[in-house]
Copies of this chain bind each other. A is one copy, B any other.
Amino acid sequence: MTFKRTNPLALAVLALLAERPMHPYEMAQTMRERHQEEVIKLNYGSLYTVVESLHKHELITASATQKAGNRPERTVYAITDTGTAELHDWLRELIAVPAREYPRFEAGISMVGLLPPHDALTVVEQRVDALDQQLTALAVLLEKLAGMGLPQLAWIELDYRLAMLRAERGWLTWFAAATRDGTVGGYPDWEDRHR
């Protein structure tokens, strides 16, 4: 069986091992230090399964080094040539080809007609507030990173997220307004269904 590009955590592992050999726990630490865990979901269980999978497909190699007992604790892994190739090819694909992601909010908003208009308005406004908090937090963080002299390329994904958050906020405020003054298409029916 050929390696399946499911869990992006595997991509992070390949990227880390492209720098230098590491053991899984060290990978996790490094990801935390660099705030990568906010972009790629990380937990220990998945990390070890993903590493084992990469090893099975010979994208990485294991060199056991024991420390205190005689059992090999701290298994250190290194990337192989096919692993490097996989890293770059996967990365290209991830950027070039948009993937269907099924965002949960899309599912939610598609059923908003099930809520009474007044309740719908309330929850949409709550979401706007939450997004505003995220936006200010993100703006502060960007300010700080730029002040530290870090290049923009090092936090480019935050720049992207900022743009997307702003867009979502914009759409939400439009929808809230259209709900408030009943200009959203189908409003009369919507109100009638909830009396």
What is A's interface to B at a CB cutoff of 8 Å? 8, 11-12, 15, 18, 36, 39-41, 87-88, 91-92, 94-99, 101-115, 119-120, 122-124, 126-127, 130-131, 134, 151-154, 156-157, 159-161, 163-164, 166-168, 170-171, 175, 184-187, 189-190
Contacts and interface: CB of A to CB of B under 8 A. Distances in A.
Contacts of A184: 152-153, 156
Given A127-B97, A127-B98, A107 B153 contact: no
A108 B160 CA distance: 11
A18 B94 CA distance: 39
Given A126-B96, A130-B96, A153 B119 contact: no
A160 B8 contact: no
A152 to B, nearest CB: 3
The complex is assembled from copies of this chain, and their number is 2
18 contacts: A8-B104, A18-B114, A39-B106, A40-B102, A88-B114, A95-B108, A95-B127, A96-B122, A96-B130, A97-B127, A109-B156, A109-B157, A112-B156, A151-B189, A164-B164, A164-B167, A166-B167, A167-B168
A39 B190 CA distance: 21
A96 B18 CA distance: 41
B114 A95 contact: no
